Amino acid sequence: MKPTNEPIAVSDLARQIQTRVDSTPILDIHTHLYDPAFRELLLWGIDDLLTYHYLVAEAFRYLEMPYEKFWGLSKSSQADLIWEALFLEHSPVSEACRGVLTTLQLLGLDPKKRDLPAIRRWFASQKVEDHINRCFELAGLSKVFMTNSPFDDVERAVWDKAFIRDPRFEAGLRIDPLLLSWPTAAECLLKWGYAVQPEPNAKTFDEVRRFLADWSTRIEAKYLMVSLGPDFSFPDQSVTTKVIEHSVLPHCREQGLPLALMPGVRRAVNPQLRLAGDGVGLADLSGLQNLCSGYPDVKFMATILARENQHDACVLARKCRNLHIFGCWWFTNVPSLVQEITRMRLELIGLSFTPQHSDARILDQVVYKWRHFRSVLTTALVQQYTQLAETGWQVTQAELDRDIRDLFGGAFTRFAGP
Ligand code: RAT
Ligand code: ZN
**pLDDT value at 1 more than 80:** no
Instruction: Tell me how far apart the alpha carbons of residues 243 and 355 are, in angstroms, rounded to a whole number.
Output: 30
Q: How far is CA 128 from CA 36, 43, 51, 337, in A?
A: 8, 10, 19, 33
| Average pLDDT over every residue of 18-27 | 98
Q: How far is CA 36 from CA 43, 75, 163, in A?
A: 10, 21, 10
Q: In sequence order, what are the residues at sequence separation of 6 or more whose Cβ sits closer than 8 angstroms to the Cβ of residue 269?
A: 277, 278, 279
Instruction: Tell me how far apart the alpha carbons of residues 169 and 412 are, in angstroms, rounded to a whole number.
Output: 16
pLDDT at 183: 97
Identify the DSSP state of 175: -
Distance from the CA of 155 to the center of ligand 1, in angstroms? Answer: 17
Distance from the CA of 395 to the center of ligand 2, in angstroms? Answer: 35
Instruction: Tell me how far apart the alpha carbons of residues 176 and 259 are, in angstroms, rounded to a whole number.
Output: 12
Ligand 1 mutation target, pool 28, 31, 32, most atoms within 8 A of CB: 32
Distance from the CA of 34 to the center of ligand 1, in angstroms? Answer: 14
Given the CA of residue 265, which atom of ligand 1 is nearest to it?
12
Which residue's CA is the closest to the ligand 1 atom numbered 5? 275
Half-sphere exposure for 242 (CA within 13 Å, toward CB) = 15
Task: Give the N- to C-terminal CA distance of the chain in Å, as an integer.
Answer: 31
Given the CA of residue 54, which atom of ligand 1 is nearest to it?
3
Distance from the CA of 73 to the center of ligand 1, in angstroms? Answer: 23
pLDDT at 418: 67
Instruction: Tell me how far apart the alpha carbons of residues 380 and 341 are, in angstroms, rounded to a whole number.
Output: 10
Distance from the CA of 226 to the center of ligand 2, in angstroms? Answer: 10
| Average pLDDT over every residue of 72-93 | 98
Ligand number nearest CA of 365 is 1
Neighbours of 37 (CB within 10 A): 16
- pTM for this one? 0.98
Given the CA of residue 174, which atom of ligand 1 is nearest to it?
11
Instruction: Tell me how far apart the alpha carbons of residues 395 and 20 are, in angstroms, rounded to a whole number.
Output: 14
Ligand 1 mutation target, pool 49, 146, 227, 369, most atoms within 8 A of CB: 227
Distance from the CA of 301 to the center of ligand 1, in angstroms? Answer: 16
Question: What are the residues whose beta carbon lies below 5 Å from ligand 2 (ion)?
Answer: 359
For residue 369, name the pLDDT band (cuts at 50, 70, 90): very high
Given the CA of residue 278, which atom of ligand 1 is nearest to it?
5
Q: Are 168 and 157 in contact (CB under 8 A)?
A: no
Distance from the CA of 114 to the center of ligand 2, in angstroms? Answer: 30
Ligand number nearest CA of 262 is 1
Given the CA of residue 330, which atom of ligand 1 is nearest to it?
1
Distance from the CA of 326 to the center of ligand 2, in angstroms? Answer: 12
- Per-residue pLDDT tens for 120-150? 999 999 999 999 999 999 999 999 999 999 9
| Average pLDDT over every residue of 326-341 | 98
Distance from the CA of 176 to the center of ligand 1, in angstroms? Answer: 12
- Per-residue pLDDT tens for 96-109? 999 999 999 999 99
pLDDT at 3: 73
**pLDDT value at 2 more than 90:** no
Among residues 78, 53, 75, which one has the least CA distance to residue 365?
53
pLDDT at 321: 98
Q: Which residues line ligand 1 (CB under 6 A)?
A: 32, 227, 330, 359, 361
Ligand number nearest CA of 329 is 1
Instruction: Tell me how far apart the alpha carbons of residues 74 and 58 are, in angstroms, rounded to a whole number.
Output: 19
| Average pLDDT over every residue of 152-168 | 96
Instruction: Tell me how far apart the alpha carbons of residues 32 and 140 are, in angstroms, rounded to a whole number.
Output: 18
- Per-residue pLDDT tens for 284-331? 999 999 999 999 999 999 999 999 999 999 999 999 999 999 999 999
Which residue's CA is the closest to the ligand 1 atom numbered 4? 330
For residue 174, the SS3 value is: strand
**pLDDT value at 4 more than 90:** no
| Average pLDDT over every residue of 344-365 | 98
Which residue's CA is the closest to the ligand 1 atom numbered 2? 330
Residue-averaged pLDDT of the chain: 98
Distance from the CA of 172 to the center of ligand 2, in angstroms? Answer: 11
Which residue's CA is the closest to the ligand 1 atom numbered 1? 330
- Per-residue pLDDT tens for 165-198? 999 999 999 999 999 999 999 999 999 999 999 9
Which residue's CA is the closest to the ligand 1 atom numbered 9? 359
